[in-house]
Structures are given as structure tokens and as C-alpha cells.
A and B are shown apart, each in its own frame.
Chain A
Amino acid sequence: KAGVTQTPRYLIKTRGQQVTLSCSPISGHRSVSWYQQTPGQGLQFLFEYFSETQRNKGNFPGRFSGRQFSNSRSEMNVSTLELGDSALYLCASSEGQGIATEAFFGQGTRLTVV
């Protein structure tokens, strides 16, 4: 079974631009979560989608948004990029139904804003 796939792996953007990151979950997993990881703040939850609906949302500004498609693939978008958005963005997938279940992470997208 293939793992969680995130694309692209690395990205360099300029302040003010917008960016879209993609995540393909493990086959059969319907829940996708996104996290921002920085050295100072650790792993911070962005949002979670289940069956195309946003189920949970973290404390990030509205510039951060996401969506999930019918095949469970998910994208997150960051508009008007700021230098502080430089981070490793991680996607995790899980079966997401009923009891809390294991979440499996992708390798992440390293975003650098210059």
C-alpha cells in the first residue's frame, strides 16, 4: 500500500505570492489533516477534512485554506505569503471514522518564503 504522498517536496516563493500544496492520502483513508512544523512552534494543527468537509480547524489566519476532493486527495492554499509562513507543511491521513485512529504522515513540503 502506498503511503501518504505530498507534492511538491520543496518550494520557494516570494512574499505576497500564493501557493497550493497537494496531499494524496493512503488508499481507503478518508480523513486528511494538515500541520505546520517550525523549529520554534513544533507541530501546529491547521485543519482536518473528512469526506470533503472541514471537520476541525486550527488557529491560523484566513490566508490558510484547504479543501478535499471526492477521491480524498486534499490541497491547502496559502495566499499573500509572509516570511513567517516558511515551514515544513505536513499532511496526515487516517481512516477517520469513529474511534480515534492512527494518522500516517507524508514527508512534507518544505516551503521557503523569500
Chain B
Amino acid sequence: QQQVKQSPQSLIVQKGGISIINCAYENTAFDYFPWYQQFPGKGPALLIAIRPDVSEKKEGRFTISFNKSAKQFSLHIMDSQPGDSATYFCAARKRDDKIIFGKGTRLHILP
């Protein structure tokens, strides 16, 4: 019940295309869903986050879609660029508890 399942494991997208990464969770007590971006040799960096009281959050080319009833959320990267090539982690957290991470998606944007 503590797991966050992330798919796909790896993703190749053409430059200018839309990258979509999906995550699913079981624990309805989670109340915070961040996405992290990690480049090789660096720690994960917070990209965008959402709370379950909204269904969508957009920041620039990055959008989180949240489906509370299905217990799923996804990251959409519009107009994907080679600089977006990185590993992306979805995560979930409940109040005063640890962050649970998905296994990560390695995204490669073809130039």
C-alpha cells in the first residue's frame, strides 16, 4: 500500500513531441505528489508538485494531471527538448511521513 508504481521504465521521444510518464498509488492518505528530475551526477530536483484537491497543474511546458478516483497521476512534457533528457521520478507523501518514490523513468529526447 506504500508503493508508487511508475511507467514506463524508459521513454524515447522526438524533439517537439509530448512525453508522458504515469504513476499509480494505493494509499489514499497521500496528500502531496511531487515529480523530480535528475540529471547524471546530480541529486533529484523538484520539478512540479500537486495536491489532490486539484486535477491539473501546469508550469511552463510541464503539466501534472491528477485523477483522484483512479489513484493515478501523470507528468506531461510538452514540446520536449533534448535538454529534458533525464530520469524522472514521481513520488507521494502523506503528512509527517517519508516520501515514497517510483522507480524512475529514463527519458531520452531525440534531437
Interface residues of A (CB under 8 A from B): 4, 6, 33, 35, 42-43, 45, 48, 55-56, 58, 90, 92, 98-108
Contacts and interface: CB of A to CB of B under 8 A. Distances in A.
Interface in B38-79: 41-46, 49
Contacts of B89: 42-43
A8 to B, nearest CB: 14
Contacts of A107: 41-43
B46 A100 contact: no
B interface, size bucket: 20 to 34
Given A99-B31, A103-B34, A108-B42, 7 more contacts: A35-B101, A42-B101, A56-B97, A98-B95, A98-B96, A101-B32, A103-B93
Nearest to B36: A105
B101 A100 contact: no
B44 to A, nearest CB: 5
A106 B104 CA distance: 18
B103 A42 contact: yes
Contact of B99 (A4, A6, A42, A45): A45
Interface in B77-111: 89, 93-104
B81 to A, nearest CB: 23
B95 A105 contact: no
A48 to B, nearest CB: 5
B95 A100 contact: yes
B44 A56 contact: no
Given A58-B98, A100-B95, A90 B43 contact: yes
A90 B41 CA distance: 11
A60 to B, nearest CB: 13
Contacts of A103: 34, 46, 93, 99
B98 A90 contact: no
